[in-house]
Amino acid sequence: MAKRKALGRGLSALFPESSAMDEEKGFFYCAVESITPNPLQPRQDFSDSELSELANSIKEKGIIQPVLVNRVKDGFQLIAGERRWRAAQKAGLHKIPVLIRDVSPAESLELALIENIQRKDLNPIEEALAYQEMIHKSSFTQESLSKRIGKDRSTIANFLRLLKLPDFIQKDIVDGTLTTGHARVLAGINSPSSQKDIRDIIIKKALSVRQTESLAKKMSEPKKKKDSTVDIDYYLETLSKDIQKFLGTKVSIKKTGKKGKIIIDFYSDDELDRLIGVLT
């Protein structure tokens, strides 16, 4: 099997290992006010606390790696390094080291995306939007993009599916209320009302991804006969299976209103002793 190309090989070419701060390579100090952020920058969320930490580091050690910029009409536009640029201003620097690369908007987006992926700076929605932007503004397909950035096509497809989720669920993903695993389960549900119902249960009950998958599967099954009076609590059913697996014996949970009981079966004195040992 052919070995996958390293992610972000373009950036390593832009920053040679010999010396990122070598004037012969095009490095120079540029006034921070002459640099503008890239409107196509994939990363939109910049933590104040993280910027403050970086600003303190910059005050102490300076900027070790130059930011990457492109020439524009009124100065320079960032390609990669917006976090360093923002932190430098927070640190009170008036000039920062830059490297100039004349690239197209599509290439600028690609380099910014690769840098952020390498640094793991993007939340899942930002990464999905970046993939979508590259596909829409260039000739990339999911397959060609996957080869370009070194990720599986299925991974890119899964990220793009997140953009079909309702805005409030996307916000949950951005702020960390839901994980990418939860989001992928929700993205596989066609009904917006079911998505919301399951999302609410995930948050209220702190469901794991596996429990969420089980719940989604149960809710997608055909409903029982209309005259059935059985009201199945899918969360309790999943939870009882988890306890059953841990204890190695049958477990059932009965709930009435806010009260209930957990029933643990045993089939011999020895098994009772074993269960007492596990529980204590």
Given its phi and psi angles, is residue 101 left (phi above 0), alpha (psi -120 to 50 degrees) or beta? beta
3-state secondary structure of 30: strand
Q: Where would I find the beta strands (DSSP E) of the chain?
A: 27-31, 35-36, 67-72, 75-80, 95-100, 251-256, 259-264
> Residue 227 burial by CB count (10 A; 0-12/13-18/19+): exposed, middle or buried?
exposed
Q: What is the DSSP string of 112-129?
A: HHHHHHHHT---HHHHHH
Instruction: Give the pLDDT confidence score for residue 211 in this predicted structure.
Output: 92
How far, in Å, CA of 77 to CA of 35, rounded? Answer: 5
The dihedrals phi and psi of 257, each to the nearest 5 degrees, come to 65, -130
What are the structural domains of the chain?
9-158 (3.90.1530.30), 164-220 (1.10.10.2830), 244-279 (no CATH)
Instruction: Indicate the pairing of strand 67-72 with strand 27-31.
Output: unpaired
171-189: per-residue pLDDT in tens?
Answer: 999 889 999 999 999 999 9
Instruction: Give the pLDDT confidence score for residue 18 in this predicted structure.
Output: 33
Instruction: Give the pLDDT confidence score for residue 202 in this predicted structure.
Output: 93
Give the global pTM. Answer: 0.54
Output the CA torsion sign for 146, 173, 126, 50: negative
The residue among 76 and 242 whose pLDDT is bigger is 76
- Identify the weakest region by mean pLDDT among 16-25, 123-132, 159-168, 192-201: 16-25
90-112: per-residue pLDDT in tens?
Answer: 888 899 999 888 877 777 777 77
> Any idea which residues carry the catalytic annotation?
82
